[in-house]
Amino acid sequence: MARNDAFGYDLAINDPVAVEAWNRTVAAFLAHSAATPVHLTEALEREPDFAMAHLAKGFFMLLLGRIELVPAAREAQDAATRIMAGDSANDRERGYGAALDLYLEGNMAAAADRLEQVMAAYPRDAFALKLVHSLRFVMGDSIGMRRSIEAVQGAYETDHPSAPYVNGCYAFTLEETGDYRAAEARGRDAVLRAADDAWGVHAVAHVFDMTGRTREGVTWLSNQPETWAHCNNFRYHVWWHLALFHLDRGEYAEVLNLYDTEIRAEHTDDYRDISNGASLLTRLELEGVDIGDRWTELAEICAGRTDDGCVVFADLHYMLALSSGDSHGKACRLLQSMKRNAEQGKTTMAEVSADVGVSAAEGLIRFSNGDYANAYHALSVARPNMQRVGGSHAQRDVFERLTIDAALRAGMLTEAQILLDDRTRARGAVDGYTERRLSSIGVFESSLAASL
């Protein structure tokens, strides 16, 4: 006997306790809750032949972007395949299974497309929606993220249990595609309707970042830390956003305090956590802040990730830590690994590595060596397609800042000015970073004029 999940769709199991555990798994996933694996484990313990739960485990393993978890994802896929070989499997499960197959093959775009076919047939399935959101985020496909939600939006009327979280996801896609006013309205609405919608809170923080509203950003996040207190390591990322607002305002002591007490309070090795840390230390150093020996801890962790090759976004942040943290041998090893992946050319990430990853990584190494003109040239080669490395505009901005600062340090003022104008146009407002660079260009030009 099949039972329905929280969205009204069949699950090919009949244990009601397992179904409840599954519903909690999906709700927790949508809220970025630390309890997600706990609920998933409970579902599988109650119902070992629960294909959908095995498939979820496979997706979760791959989304962590760690080479050593690929075998566990494959095991989960094998278990689901064995179970689905029987008569009880349904089309929705088979759709997830086909998508996980594609993801395991390294074809993330095809995996997302296949899950969107599931969404078309089962539009209330918010689990498929959130997986597509996650996959397209890793690919930097903001337009695809927005389109995938808009295609099923009619199914998320107010009676849908996940409607606020889907609104939070939609807010993020609106922000990433430049519709800041609508993004803010959607995000605020999501948080009003679900106080634990950390992704919705975070989407509004992105709006404040992109539009230079740093004072509102500080207030928005400082006043409601309880909205992300339940989160897995995503909570470090929300603290990172608060630190970005303080950074832009020149409040560097508070940035360092947040770094030590929240963002890197635990020396975790998840690539998203490393990214938060490496990105923030880079930005601080670009502002001339003494960050002490904080690179050491990050570089030690990244030294063990040089052969991952799972996510180019991760590789580039490992490179920041290795090249800035005085681990140049390991930085070169990572670059060689990225080049090997690029030559392989069969997976989504191999293409991204070839298209932008290798040149960006070379630029980062050159920057750390003080070879600013060549750093600027290498980063400029990558720049037109940097969105393909994934993440958000706010996250990728660290590479934009390095490109601009490379030009400035190489005395290429015209190039720097063009990049600053581009960056302001893309963001929608001048921020503290741009104000400080424009001011430095002005000082340089006036001292040049005075000497002539």
> Closest approach of Cβ 403 to Fe ion, in Å?
20
> Closest approach of Cβ 251 to Fe ion, in Å?
19
Interacting span for Fe ion (CB under 5 A) from 256-264, 382-390, 392-400, 416-424:
392-400
Interacting span for Fe ion (CB under 5 A) from 17-25, 40-48, 390-398, 434-442:
390-398
Interacting span for Fe ion (CB under 5 A) from 6-14, 28-36, 391-399, 435-443:
391-399
Ranges within 250-309 binding Fe ion (CB under 5 A):
none
| Residue 230 buriedness (CB in 10 A; 0-12 / 13-18 / 19+) | middle
Classified as helix, coil or strand, 336 is helix
18/23 Cα distance (integer angstroms): 9
DSSP 8-state assignment for residue 253: H
Decide whether 227 or 392 has the Cβ nearer to Fe ion: 392
Decide whether 117 or 224 has the Cβ nearer to Fe ion: 224
CB-based contact 395:148 (threshold 8 Å): no
User: Which residue has the CB atom at the shortest distance from Fe ion?
Assistant: 392
Decide whether 47 or 176 has the Cβ nearer to Fe ion: 176
347/191 Cα distance (integer angstroms): 37
> Closest approach of Cβ 179 to Fe ion, in Å?
17
Interacting span for Fe ion (CB under 5 A) from 384-392, 401-409, 419-427, 428-436:
384-392
Decide whether 368 or 392 has the Cβ nearer to Fe ion: 392
Interacting span for Fe ion (CB under 5 A) from 128-136, 294-302, 389-397, 409-417:
389-397
Number of amino acids touching Fe ion (CB under 5 A): 1
> Closest approach of Cβ 26 to Fe ion, in Å?
22
> Closest approach of Cβ 420 to Fe ion, in Å?
22
Decide whether 327 or 392 has the Cβ nearer to Fe ion: 392
Cβ-based neighbour number of residue 414 at 10 Å: 9
Decide whether 294 or 393 has the Cβ nearer to Fe ion: 393
Interacting span for Fe ion (CB under 5 A) from 174-182, 376-384, 385-393, 420-428:
385-393
Decide whether 133 or 330 has the Cβ nearer to Fe ion: 133
Decide whether 327 or 395 has the Cβ nearer to Fe ion: 395
Interacting span for Fe ion (CB under 5 A) from 156-164, 259-267, 305-313, 388-396:
388-396
> Closest approach of Cβ 442 to Fe ion, in Å?
32
> Closest approach of Cβ 127 to Fe ion, in Å?
22
CB-based contact 215:248 (threshold 8 Å): no
Taking alpha carbons only, the member of 269, 350, 338, 339 closest to residue 304 is 269
Ranges within 429-448 binding Fe ion (CB under 5 A):
none
DSSP 8-state assignment for residue 2: -
H or E element, residue 4:
strand 3-4
DSSP 8-state assignment for residue 356: I
> Closest approach of Cβ 203 to Fe ion, in Å?
8
Cβ-based neighbour number of residue 395 at 10 Å: 21
H or E element, residue 305:
none
Residue 23 tokens, joined: 């519903």
DSSP per-residue letters across 29-45: HHTTBTTHHHHHHHHHH
Decide whether 119 or 243 has the Cβ nearer to Fe ion: 243
Interacting span for Fe ion (CB under 5 A) from 213-221, 262-270, 387-395, 410-418:
387-395
**Contacts for 252-259 with beta carbons within 8 Å, 24 or more apart?**
252/284, 252/287, 252/289, 255/280, 255/284, 255/289, 256/284, 256/289, 256/291, 259/294
> Closest approach of Cβ 252 to Fe ion, in Å?
21
Decide whether 232 or 392 has the Cβ nearer to Fe ion: 392
Classified as helix, coil or strand, 10 is strand
> Closest approach of Cβ 392 to Fe ion, in Å?
5
CB-based contact 166:160 (threshold 8 Å): yes
What's the helix, strand, coil split of the chain in %, to 5?
75, 0, 25
Decide whether 44 or 244 has the Cβ nearer to Fe ion: 244
> Closest approach of Cβ 221 to Fe ion, in Å?
11
C-alpha radius of gyration, the chain, whole number:
22
Cβ-based neighbour number of residue 181 at 10 Å: 10
Q: How far is Cα of residue 382 from the mean position of the Cα atoms in its chain?
A: 19
Give the binding site for Fe ion (CB under 5 A): 392
